[in-house]
Amino acid sequence: MKKIICLFLMGMMMSQLEAQVGIGTSEPKAQLDIVATSTADPASIDGILIPRIMKFPVVTPSEDQHGMLVFLSKSVSGFPDGFYFWNATEKKWKAIAAEANTANFYKTGTTVSPNNITDPIFREASMGIGTDQISSRLQVAIAPGKDTGLKKGLEVDNANSATDNLTTYGILSDNRSATNGNKYGIKNNVGGVGLGIHYGIFNETYQNTGTNDIYGIYNRVGRTFGARSNNYGIYSEIGSIQGVGNIFGIYSIATGDANSNVYAGYFNGRIGIGTSPETEYVLPLNRGTEGQVMSLNANGQVSWTNAGFENYSSTTSAVADYAIGDEIGTLRINNQVTGLIMPASASNKGRILRLINWPGNSEKFFQFVGGDDLFDPRTNAKILSIKSGQIFTIQSAGNRWILLSQ
């Protein structure tokens, strides 16, 4: 002990002479150089004990103590335990570790700066990576001319090796905002610059073994709690009037072995096809029976009918000349009409019509489009009208109508 005191006193005397002091070394490399007894196997006393205090002094230090170091051995209000130094410029004790109220990140569940790389951290404000133009909680950007070696704006790799039965996610998006404007779960915009293939979404899904279902995209839409808005599982707009090449709204390829049910498209529900509600036609919901065919009514509704069935129509209370529409197969002619306007043969090639002039009616004359006529090959003559009680079965040859039977 006496030896240590002597060394200390000698060091103080040497410092007065502006010499260097070494403790544990005879060749100090600084004004004060303290060397451990062994760097490879240090003793428990190898170190410096800074003055330990349980609270800060009531009388604040002065300019002369600027930089004075202490160790707060227990937390006091607003100050966790740790090393502090007196900052005379700011007239306050400051932690050597980052102060909680100046930390860029907090350790979760605290207002303390994280201490190591394994601590989970959080931040109350938004953050930008590669940009200071921040309009979201996390803004990631690769600016033009910068980081040209980076090809991915954001990558998530979930390689969790746990073999439990819990659900895992690559990305989970939950938009529960209360806005009355548009809401997106994911909004993706791929620019048009560049000659390579452009993908809005590219999805690959695999399964090694097992019998669980595999979904490339699983979309659940329509849980709108009584809202009367339009609901779309997939809404696709593609191409423009200037577009060239093949343009597909949806292009699907499905392959499988001989024991698989393979569908390029499978729809569980009604299917409507068209460019607008006014021009669409709706396929039947249920499967037809053997031998049945689909037929279309004037409202665009497709239904199953037995082969050979044709639409039966009547001129009802129509007056003047009656135009035969596309929906007519068999037409009962009432006496109120004065004549029949026949469809163009060129656009109805192969179409068969049956015309019934009800008994007691007057003779009804045909009116043809362009150079059309009704020709009877048995008499090698044109037919100009249908008389009372007559039934004509006619077919379009593309350039005229032909009488098949009467």
Is the per-residue pLDDT at 227 higher than 70?
no
Q: Which region among 227-231, 371-375, 400-404 has the lowest average model confidence (pLDDT)?
A: 227-231
What's the pLDDT tens digit per position in 262-318?
888 888 888 888 888 788 888 888 888 888 888 887 788 888 888 777 788 999 999
Chain centroid offset of residue 358 CA? 62
Pair 377, 350: CB distance under 8 Å:
no
What's the pLDDT tens digit per position in 109-128?
887 778 778 889 888 889 99
Look-up of token digits 């009704």: 374
What's the pLDDT tens digit per position in 75-97?
888 788 899 999 999 999 998 86
Pair 222, 232: CB distance under 8 Å:
no
What's the pLDDT tens digit per position in 308-341?
777 889 999 999 999 999 889 999 999 999 999 9
Rounded CA-CA distance 360/377 in Å is 28
Pair 11, 28: CB distance under 8 Å:
no
The total of other beta-carbon atoms located within 10 Å of residue 17's CB is 6
Rounded CA-CA distance 364/374 in Å is 14
Rounded CA-CA distance 401/340 in Å is 14
pTM for the whole structure: 0.50
For the chain, the first-to-last Cα distance in angstroms comes to: 137
